[in-house]
A and B are shown apart, each in its own frame.
Chain A
Amino acid sequence: MDHNLLIGGAAGQGMDTLSSLFERYLMRQGYQVFVSKDYMSRVRGGHNFIQIRFSDQPLTSHRYSLDLIAAMDETTIREHLPRLNPEGYALCDEKLQEEKGQVLGFPLEASAKEAGNPKTFTTAFLGLLVKWYGLDQESIEGMILEAFQDRSPEANLKAYQLGAGLTETRIDLPQASGKDQILINGNEAIALGAIAAGVTFYSAYPMTPSTSIMNYLASKQSEAGIVVEQAEDEIAAINMAIGANFTGIRAMTGTSGGGFSLMTEALGLAGITETPLVVANVQRPGPATGFPTRTEQSDLSFMLTASHGEIPRMITALRNPRESFYQTARAFNLSEKYQIPVILLSDQYLADYSVTTDVFDYSHITIDRYIDEDSEYDHETPYKRYALTENGISPRLIPGKVADQIVLADSDEHDEAGHITESASIRIQMMKKRMGKMELLKDEIEEPWHWGTDQPEVLLLAWGSVAGPLQEALHLLQKEKDFPEVAALVFGDLWPLPVEKLKKLSASAKSIINIEQNYTGQLAKLLRQETGIFCQHSYLKYDGRQMTPEEIVEALKKEVL
């Protein structure tokens, strides 16, 4: 079973409440759920839609074809009817029903009025849906009372019941096995990862689609012991985090591309001062303001060189919410182990889609600080923040924590003690010390996910959030009899670039295809730069909408067959 429901309407019509109740309810009923959202950059009106896909099998992507449409306005019907399966329906208020056939009207507004409050329209719609699918009615009633506890719970319950009375059950869903799961999106998972990693300060400036990291952490400040500060701009946000990290806590900042552009000078500051730093860049289509609420993977090239001058850095693309949790926690350990900035690269699609996943296992997470404590420190010799050591990593002290020792960090080129220098030989030593960390990092990086055969004829290359749609596309391809032996590599760690699997799998491939959400094929460029391996074909999408598995299959058939 694999069912795809679309709920559409204008901003302000209450779709979010309807969707969040229904998706959570499906999870509690034991289904696997994948919820993706398509919003316009406005607070009222426009056309927004949410797709709730559910199944008794794990899901990793949204998909194109629809099984049911819940239309709150006429635009939804017009826009999405072409995607409806022949046996599917569009449900709406009776006023919107124009023709018979696939569009079915119900007296939803009338039910809301009868319930005593026109605002209960969406709850009546919920009743209709629950009954349509023949789902357990009792448990959702409790959820409704809880969700509307301050907003006429009784009227909502009534509206729900009236809505449920409007239809027979039309779909017979199989029972799903209820495991203990959570339904979580990429940004929430980053926030939880940060909490698990011991973050106590998050400084940021609001920018879609990164803002929900800040929102979630802000809502947990007291419980989690975190200070969230809305900075005056992104320059302040990153510099605050650097100052806090220098002073010994774990601080983090997050933004989207435009904000990251403002942060670049300070990224270099973290590099040269060797201050650990974790920055999340939740990408959206640029340049400038671009497409504020849409998705793209067009900042990879930028992340590789962001900041003037040369600094060591690590870049990890997040591939799904589960990984976002673990990689965020890992980023903190690596940033402190090597005293470098680590960039977490996400995007709007991953930030905003929610998926069911097993509860995160925090027993895998450790907080490794690599900081010298007072007791283990030699008090005789003055501490040197940038002491030259065999591997280039200097012992780290926290200012104020060790009596009689001071810590000096400097954005100028500096000597071992942190004082400004113009010496050519010290410059060379310090550059080697800092850039040498890139070699050390090579032992830390993880190879890309590998799906499919070991000796592919066709090798697909992707990174980040394309993982989900691509995984399902591979399942679909298995049904295509004429399609050659295929494998996919999906990169998470991108810098330094892991190359082992790529070298191995590309050897047998007659055709290498990069699949990315950008115009210039930024992963392909990077692979060419680092390995000399060329992608002969590419599927690139830059319309701000995440590719579906169906689209990938179509594109591949065109390129390969």
Chain B
Amino acid sequence: MTGEQLLQAYYFLKLNRALEEQLLKFYMQNKVVGGLYRSLGQEAISVGTAMALEPQDWVAPLIRNVGAFLVRGYRPRDLFTQYMAKATSPTAGRDCNTHFGDIQRGVVAPISMLGAMIPVMVGVGWGSRLQGLDRVGLTYIGDGGTSTGDFHEGLNLASVWKAPMVLVAEHNQFAYSTPTSKQMAITDLVDRAKAYAIPAEIVDGNDLMAVYAATRRALEHARSGRGPYFLECKTMRMRGHAEHDDARYVPAELLEEWRAKDPIDRFSQRLLEEFGFSQEQLSEQDQRVAKLIEEDAEFAERSPYPEGSRSQAQEGVFAS
């Protein structure tokens, strides 16, 4: 990564975290409609993978991939207004949280059904290649989501078709209350990919540079016509499934262990110690982040709710 990219990565990591801290404030003030899902401790995965994409590549972020939206040019206000169900949100209040997208930005809006995005992104990659387009489709899956039929069908299809698709598995140890040990009889998700003859590697998901470098390798592989690639990012879900869940079932020592591996702390430290950045340079980015969050939080608060006429609730199902 160039110096400029490193600084940019720092900015996005901090923006991702600050955005969620602001969302938490909104949540405590009862301004969030529905649940609040956090990516605390997993930010390096979304930011690192999305930064590795080329502009023509497409990404389908899931609920914990706020960072990928930011890298793709969405602003904090887009997530604030989505979570607050405002008329100014990207879906104009029709759908919630990260359920939005825009083909112009190469962002596919996810559905809740886990695994569903995998076959879809196989199709994005395959369909693009059929038309001579250089485009890789990248999406994410949780450890729990790897038990779905769509995960297995999608990977198998990607493999036999050699589709340019990259799947990033975020192994954050839990699927709601279910630890990986009760979800599957293997410890590493890469073993799933191996069954489909898909090259796979384990990555330290809390190391932004490692995530970025692995994603570059994965994309290069997919782009060169050799088929899909699978990354398993080891990480930890540092909050409950959503904020309403106190996650009592997570052993305190496990959280303690992973707190020491916080991806932002580690990255900042490397920037200062290994890459010669100054504290002022980082503080400058922090100020940019704070300013944008403040501005966008205000925008979201000021934004109206949809009026809510029946015709408004009804329209838009078909093109015409």
Question: Do A and B share a complex?
Answer: no
Q: Which A residues form the contact surface with B (CB < 8 A)?
A: none
